[in-house]
Structure 1
């Protein structure tokens, strides 16, 4: 069993870069450079129905990525634009998709995984733009974590929270936010929108905002990764 596992989160912005060019190959170049075991994606599908994948399935498969199934339809990568990729010996034992409250259509994906560091639950999400609804969404997700129980859990994604994560404490009992760096906007990051919250049983050993080219132009977000261990 390995000591550490790398998890990354990345808002693809539908593979449209700051140069306004849709370049799935460039987005994949950034994803591969993360050297992650698990990658949680946001805005992985195009906006209009049937919401086909912005990052084609075939090029992901060609590079050894497995797209976890969450009942996708119409060629989508995920649910409400949230998708999850795994590599190596990581396998899924259960999955669930969740609708989130709020004015905007938002959702989350939840996967129970067998990983090199043992069983792990990953929840990927893209929270709303209005804090009131973000707090409602986080309350639902942390309740889901408590109700499911029994497995260390990482909540990851674009939290859309510009300020300190302490503003979210009331809605996130029982989880701790990793101390990740600023990831937005990509050319000159000033906000840590992309984040990880961890339940008991997990500790972060390293974290980094990925700034290598072409990440600075491939999306308006930079990807962020953490290395974790079981405690």
Structure 2
């Protein structure tokens, strides 16, 4: 199976300074043409955590659909601000799990099983001590859930190459390129960690004029093939 998988921190659809314009983010996603995309900051942060990315527009503008799961609140799209969009044919058989994470701030990850791949969407904490604890928890969970083929993708919030990722030593860690801040990207905050049995064909950063306006992060993507079950 060949898949194009992406990750995108939407910054609640506000771009760098506002106003709220989620149609821009959905156009960026549509131009990426992913089979699956993990999303961060899909809900507003305060109050009932209502959706910042209108679910009514997702299918119309991207052809994808959000994975069905129990969300943070009645009007939320995601859990801890995260969601996963997929092609409808993939979404029908997908199995989703919510993974609570330790740390100073409330955080969680989403794990979805597609064929023999477990994809984990992440948005790690701002403190390196929290990120280390979160990655250690995720690495332990992945070894039990995945059966060999695992891929983590998202906003790792880690700008260093030489520290903070120690728990991922059994995985191949890829930073496709600078993704933050979007108008003048310098930091590789958005990353991929993948089992060695998963073949990575290509990776990249979607650096377009629209993407530089639509969020404070640029999306990243990877094309992969999975080993036979």
TM normalised by structure 2 equals: 0.93
Q: 1:30 aligns with which of 18, 28, 31?
A: 28
1:71 maps to 2:67: no
- Partner-residue secondary structure (3-state), 2:94: strand
Over the aligned positions, Cα root-mean-square deviation in angstroms equals 1.5
**Alignment size in residue pairs:** 224
What secondary structure does 2:209 align onto?
A: coil
CA distance in 1, matches of 2:186, 2:57: 32
8 Å Cα contact 2:117-2:226 kept in structure 1? no
Hey, what's the Cα distance between the residues in 2 that align with 1:46 and 1:19? 15
Q: Using the TM superposition, give the Cα deviation of residue 179 of structure 1 relative to its aligned residue in structure 2, in angstroms.
A: 4.0
Counterpart-to-counterpart distance in 2, 1:20 and 1:149: 39
Q: Structure 2 regions of 5+ residues with no counterpart?
A: none
CA separation in 2, counterparts of 1:138 and 1:111?
17
Matched-pair contact (CA < 8 Å) for 2:132–2:165: no
Which of 119, 123, 126 matches 1:126?
A: 123
The answer to whether the 8 Å contact 1:19/1:217 transfers is: no
Q: Distance in 2 between matches of 1:179 and 1:81?
A: 22
Q: For residue 83 of structure 2, what is the aligned residue in structure 1?
A: 83
Write out per-residue CA displacement over residues 121-175 of structure 1, whole angstroms, 9 at most, x where no aligned residue: 11111101111110000000000001223251110110000110x4234211321
Deviating more after overlay: 209-218 vs 70-79: 70-79
CA distance in 2, matches of 1:60, 1:179: 27
Is 1:199 matched with 2:200?
Answer: no
Corresponding residue for 2:144? 147
Is the contact between residue 180 and residue 187 of structure 2 (CA under 8 Å) also seen in structure 1? yes
SS at match of 1:167: coil
